[in-house]
Amino acid sequence: MSSLENTPADQITEDQWRERLTPDEYAVLRKAGTERPFTGEYTDTKTEGVYACRACGAELFRSSEKFESHCGWPSFFDPKDTDAVILHEDRSMGMKRVEVVCANCKSHLGHVFEGEGYDTPTDQRYCINSISLTLRPKE
């Protein structure tokens, strides 16, 4: 991390985000891009721990809520807590979806889908870009 490490996320400019993140991270986290399916670092990871926002470090998801959806991206059935993420309607790409953003820094994480029939407690699939996350393994 740069000298921005202790700067509140809402005070970081887009130029500073560009300096802080790699071009691929910036494209996904700050420009709502999507990494290619089945290429992400955490798609098949089974390591226990907490998944944090790669941009700001806020804790977002637990490994205990991660499940195998075989969709090409890490999938979770619930965020770490209800205030960890914000959901927004997303009508880009000619469809209606629900975007998931980090509540702390407003970076794009992915999308959440409902009613797909997965055997999870919430019937939701938080489809999250690996590049938006950092895994902090359980000690």
Residue 11 backbone phi and psi in degrees, to 5: -105, 5
Q: Which of 109, 59, 57 is nearest to 84 (CA)?
A: 59
Active-site residue flag, 127: yes
Among the options 56, 102, 105, 127, which is catalytic?
Answer: 127
**How far is it, in rounded angstroms, from Cα 69 to Cα 25?**
23
Q: In the numeric block, which tokens belong to residue 28?
A: 């996904």
Residues labelled as active-site residues: 127
